[in-house]
Amino acid sequence: MLTGSIVALVTPFTAQGNVDYSELEDLVNWHCEQGTDAIVAMGTTGESATMSHDEHILVVSAVVELAAGRIAVIAGNGSNSTAEAVHLTERMSHLELAGFLNVNPYYNKPSQRGLIAHYRACAEASDIPQLLYNVPGRTAADLLPEQVAELAEIPNIVGIKEATGDVTRVRRLRELCGDDFILLSGDDPTSCEFLLAGGNGVISVTANVMPDIMKEMVTAALAGDRDRAEELDKQMAPVHAAMFVQANPIPVKWALSLMNKIKANYRLPMTEPELKQQEHIEQTLQQAGLI
């Protein structure tokens, strides 16, 4: 339930800035139909940093209810405040979750010791399996493999979403953490190579718009079919690039709006892409046959 093709789901909003639960239901149903293995609800792609705790929990609860056991649900439980992350974890622990995804505390720039203490406190707040999430490009903190190995000794810390784009970390993490520790790519452009190097899955932004192709690529890569996996990855490569022409989730929400899946509404400080980027995203989706 914590491996395979996992979508980092966007959160749709109305023009008034409220969560659009009708569009959320449509997205959940679509991913069930397209074969996505799991949904991350209220991760950073879901604009969790701009949501109140009550909103956050309501969205996760809604996704669990809408999924109705058809697809695994992973809840984002991260914050740059350890106390807030613990509080979120405790408040969602009654839900039928496959796991939590806990991002490095952002802005604070904690030391490795601080990162370990943060993750340990969150793990102690619930028996539900937890995934670490290392994305130094967004948090200014890099959880190093040696510290991941220390955290892997905690029974309910079962894996990591590694978003450095450094595929060499797969081998190092596997050496230090063992075969049972789940290694997930959090970097779409390098995800295929990550899987072929020994990873167990991907938590993907591109899966929001190409869930079937992402699922097929992940399946091929995990089966060791390099040629097929690389062929599918090459097909997705222009979309990978387009999804990051501006900070995530700005481009992917714009793409989904062009696909008539959601309306392009954001929570400030996120706003719609610049006109040149809008045109690039639209052209990329047209060339990929998505619109």
Q: Is 45 annotated as a binding residue?
A: yes
The span from the first CA to the last CA of the chain, in angstroms, equals: 31
How far CA 34 is from CA of 38, 39, 43, in Å, comes to 11, 12, 21
Amino acid in the structure at residue 9: L
Q: Which two tokens stand for residue 284?
A: 């990329």
Three-state secondary-structure class, residue 101: strand
The active-site residue, picked from 133, 215, 253, 266, is: 133
Measuring CA to CA, how many Å separate 114 from each of 103, 161, 238?
13, 19, 38
The low-confidence residues of the chain, meaning pLDDT below 50, are none
Q: Rounded to whole angstroms, how far apart are CA atoms 248 and 47?
A: 9
**pLDDT at residue number 152:** 98
Domains of the chain, first to last: 4-225 (3.20.20.70)
pLDDT for 1 equals 83
- Which residue type occupies 197? A
Distance of alpha carbon 256 from alpha carbon 253, whole angstroms: 5
Letter for the amino acid at 274?
Answer: E
55 in Cβ contact with 20 (< 8 Å): no
**Three-class DSSP category at 13:** strand
Active site includes 161?
A: yes
Residue 276 falls in the annotated catalytic set: no
Q: Distance (Å, rounded) from C-alpha 38 to C-alpha 32?
A: 9
- Residue closest to 42 by CA, chosen among 106, 94, 85, 3: 85
pLDDT, position 234: 98
**Cβ(8)–Cβ(40) under 8 Å?**
yes
Between strands 4-8 and 38-41, the pairing is parallel
Categorise residue 287: left if φ over 0, alpha if ψ from -120 to 50, beta otherwise: alpha
Q: What is the pLDDT of residues 190-201, one digit of tens each?
A: 999 999 999 999
- Measure Cα distances from 13 to 6, 39, 64, 134, 257 in Å: 22, 18, 18, 27, 11
Both structure tokens of 112:
């490795």
- pTM more than 0.95: yes
203 is in an annotated binding site: yes
Q: What angle do CA 34, 279, 241 make, to 5 degrees?
A: 55
The catalytic position among 161, 215, 253, 266 is 161
The backbone region for 107, taken as left when phi is positive above 0, alpha when psi lies in -120 to 50, beta otherwise, is left
CB-based contact 281:273 (threshold 8 Å): yes
